[in-house]
Copies of this chain bind each other. A is one copy, B any other.
Amino acid sequence: MPELRRDPVVGRWVIISIERGKRPADFGAGLTVKKGGFCPFCKGNEHTTPPEIMAFRPDGSRPNTSGWTLRVVPNKFPALQIEGHLDKSGEGIYDKINGVGAHEVIIESPEHQDTLARMPLKAVEDMLWAYYYRISDLKKDKRFKYVVVFKNEGDAAGASLEHSHSQLIALPIVPKQVIEEIDGAKRYYELKERCIFCDIIRQELASQTRVISENRDFIAIAPFAARSPFETWILPQKHESNFAPNGNFTMLAEILQRTMKQIDKTLDTPPYNMMLHISTFMDEVNDYYHWHLEIMPKLTKIAGFEWGSGFYINPTPPEEAAKFLREAKI
């Protein structure tokens, strides 16, 4: 079983693969994404993935056969293992937890060439429903405290398969970085009795310089302190502490797909990472945290300065990035 280990100085957790550790020869320099060739996520290849956890099958077809529009399957090479009780232990000065968790893959479309920008809007909406259903289900497992939902697109962004998919990892602890973000929002609320993200939205709407787009319910902005060029956040305009459908996910799907079209057009379909930021399972409804999506096109490299300081150097001011994206002819 993998191990969660905590750095004793800074409290940062890492997941260490214990059993089948990678040896020096396993680290190739080349592409990890298989181009062309066999794809386990394509329709017709359902038998090559672990059995599905859920699927959307408008034609009523049987599980693990063709006919689906979206499938959720366990990751074949999970970072954490779903079976087992939580076991926290020490090793002298160090702390560790056995690597219990869920690691699932959301296959967003049966078509290999689909992307968030190109798939039917309905498929984007369905992806968001799948996020919601899986989070709701994993929340019932008392071993888990948080779920990280994310999407890697392209080799440089860490995707190991080309076929468009998202992933989620349910964790037995709340990541330090999530705690920091929530605590930051809480401190602001204690001071002002207002949600800091609501205040950010108000200020961005007033200045307009970093607004990329809006629809009835959502806003897409280039954040003031963007870590990387063309970093984009999508937030609900009204305060919502946790990710949930407001009747449906149509408005969110619309602005997300529009944003991805703008990014693809402006940056020639770059690799990117997308992360869902939500409240913890223990504290889902609150006045201070505001869920959102963060999209980071992968255009720069993390180097020694970033590792050594936690600073980022962003060569594109978010005001200019927002302008480029806003004016993209999609």
Contact = CB atoms under 8 A, between A and B. Distances in A.
Each complex incorporates copies of this chain amounting to: 2
Interface in A154-177: 156-159, 167, 169, 171, 175-177
Contacts of A314: 14-17
Majority secondary structure, A binding face: mixed
Interface residues of A, number: 92
A274 B24 contact: no
Greatest chain B CB density within 10 A among A151, A226, A315 is at: A315
A1 B175 CA distance: 36
Contacts of A316: 17, 21-23
A94 interface: yes
A111 interface: no
22 contacts: A5-B225, A8-B184, A9-B185, A12-B312, A14-B225, A14-B312, A14-B313, A17-B316, A27-B300, A79-B305, A92-B207, A93-B196, A94-B224, A152-B304, A156-B301, A167-B305, A175-B311, A178-B309, A273-B307, A274-B304, A275-B307, A296-B307
Interface of A: 5-18, 21-24, 26-27, 29, 79, 91-94, 148-152, 156-159, 167, 169, 171, 175-178, 180-181, 184-185, 188, 196-197, 199-200, 203, 207, 223-227, 229-230, 266-268, 270, 273-277, 294, 296, 299-305, 307-318, 320, 324
